[in-house]
Structures are given as structure tokens and as C-alpha cells.
Amino acid sequence: MTGTTHASPGLRVLVVEDEPSTREELAALLGGIPELAEVVSAESGEDAVRLLGTPAFDAVFLDISMPGLDGMDLARVLSRLSAPPAIVFVTASESHAIEAFGIGAVDYLLKPVRPERLAESVTRIVRQGRGAAEEEPPADGLDVVQIEHSRRTVFVRRADVQFAEAQGDYVRLHTADGTHLIRMSLSYLEEVWAPAGFVRAHRGYLVAAGWVHDLRVTSSSGLVACTPAGDVPVSRRHARALREQLMEAARSGRLGRAAQ
């Protein structure tokens, strides 16, 4: 079953969701966004595939856990089109985020979706279509990082982050209390956090010098920087700069303490 909601002139999008009330709510929210011209709904992956012969969609908002052709499989089908639509996953779990961005998703929304978060995704789709950068890093120097979860917003202080790990288009921030996934490039984080003592330890890792209590050579990983939140691999390329940064932290009395 499909449905159509018309909005003002703009993009044509498809909503793929097997749960009727969620599908209707998402379509209604999208229908109220000015940048969208038409919102079409599909109740399954198979239903969505049948709609691909109609005029092209600019974006597809799809659930992951669906019977039959699930969201990940459908996304792979869409990515093979000659003019693939932007893909936004709308799901109840964070567990597929890395795979989703590996497929090329523009965004990954957690249910229940807040209207302002949905509007942000549409903005990213519009900017992507114009060739602008997709990445929208938080402002204010990133002293505090705001991270959206399904029903809450978490604020992570930079001083609490012991190391950062690149995961596709995301970065996983490691703290004493756990980890947090945020959409951002590691290179951008390195640029804005370098003055606070964050240094590249490996192609895929940044470490806060103030949290490193020692460097150690292991049989499995080679040289690692040890922090309370875990060990960080150190590549040969970055070992010298890291050692210099740790020496500076030691001279200033910051070694083994949080980066402020």
C-alpha cells in the first residue's frame, strides 16, 4: 500500500516503513517541511522497489527492521541506481549506524523522530544536492558536544573525552562512562581540539595527551597509548609527535589528567 502527501514545490521523497502509525506520522512530518514537494509512502521494501519505475525520488527515508526486503537490502538496491536518491535511515536502534554510513546514508535518525531533527536531515539532503559539504559540526569550539539519542540529548564535555575513534562518517568518543557516536570527521575534530591537547596517534585515532598515563609495546597491537578508557594504537608515522606532546604535557603537569 502506498500513500502520497503533497507539499510546496521542492524535493520528492519516499517513506518506507512497515508500521502504519509510524509511517503516517513520518509522512505527515515530512509533508510539513517547505523544501519537499511530494511525500510518497510504502509499507515494505518490495512495495518501494515497485515504485522505482515512477518519477525519480530525491530521497528515501527508510526503516531497517522490516519483513522481507529490509532497509539495508533496499538501500543497496537504491545505491545501484543510475541516479541514486539520498538515503536516511529511521530506526529504533543505534547498532546499524556504521553499516548505514558505509552504504552512503546521508543521515541516521532514531525513533521517535523529533521534527527539528527531521528538518535537519532535509537540510543536509538539500545541501548535498547543491554540492555543499554534508558535515555540520557543532559550534562553540566544541567544548561541549551535543549528541542526539532516541529520547534524550546527551552533552559530552571535551575534558571527559579520553580518545576518539573514526568510524566511517562518524567519530566514537570514548569517556570513562562509555562511548558516544557523533557525525563528524576525525580530521575536523583534530583541528578544533588540537589546542586542548588532542593529538593524532593513528590514522583512525585521536588521543587526549592529558589522559595518557603511559606508552606500552604489546605483542598484539605494537605501540599503544594507555588511557583509563582503553588502549589507543600508535602508528610509526605519529609516534614521534605523540611522544613530544606527552613530554610537553608532563612538563606542564597535565600528564595523566583530563585535557581542559
Q: Report the alpha-carbon distance of residue 210 to residue 196 in Å, rounded.
A: 9
Average pLDDT (217-228) is 89
How many C-alpha atoms does 168 have within 13 Å on its Cβ side? 17
Contact 69, 44 (CB under 8 A): yes
Q: Report the alpha-carbon distance of residue 126 to residue 124 in Å, rounded.
A: 5
Contact 45, 78 (CB under 8 A): no
Model confidence at 56: pLDDT above 80: yes
Encoded amino acid at 144, one letter: V
Q: Write the pLDDT tens digit of every residue in 7-51.
A: 445 899 999 999 999 999 999 999 999 999 999 999 999 999 999
First to last CA, the chain: 55
Give the model's pLDDT for residue 133.
Answer: 39
Give the model's pLDDT for residue 218.
Answer: 86
Q: In the chain, where does the domain assigned CATH 3.40.50.2300 lie?
A: 2-129
Percent of residues, the chain, with pLDDT higher than 90: 47
Contact 69, 50 (CB under 8 A): no
Model confidence at 5: pLDDT above 60: no
Average pLDDT (70-90) is 92
Alpha helices in 20-89 (DSSP H): 20-31, 45-50, 71-79
pLDDT-derived band at 246, boundaries 50, 70, 90: confident
Percent of residues, the chain, with pLDDT higher than 70: 84
Residues 6+ apart with CB under 8 A from 243: 215
Average pLDDT (59-71) is 94
Give the model's pLDDT for residue 45.
Answer: 95
Average pLDDT (193-206) is 93
Q: In the chain, where does the domain assigned CATH 2.40.50.1020 lie?
A: 140-251
Q: What CA–CA distances, in Å, run from 188 to 95, 175, 207?
A: 24, 19, 14
Q: Which three cell numbers stand for residue 190?
A: 583534530
Q: Strand 59-62 to strand 11-16: parallel, antiparallel, or no bridges (unpaired)?
A: parallel
Residues 6+ apart with CB under 8 A from 205: 163, 164, 165, 166, 186, 232, 233
Residue 109 β-bridge partners: 90
Contact 125, 106 (CB under 8 A): yes
Average pLDDT (218-239) is 92
Write down the CATH number for the domain with range 140-251.
2.40.50.1020
Q: Write down the CATH superfamily of domain 2-129.
A: Response regulator (3.40.50.2300)
Q: Write the pLDDT tens digit of every residue in 124-171.
A: 888 877 544 334 444 444 677 777 665 667 788 899 999 999 988 789
Q: Report the alpha-carbon distance of residue 35 to residue 37 in Å, rounded.
A: 7
Question: Which candidate, 147, 149, 150, 179, places its Cα nearest to that of 165?
Answer: 179
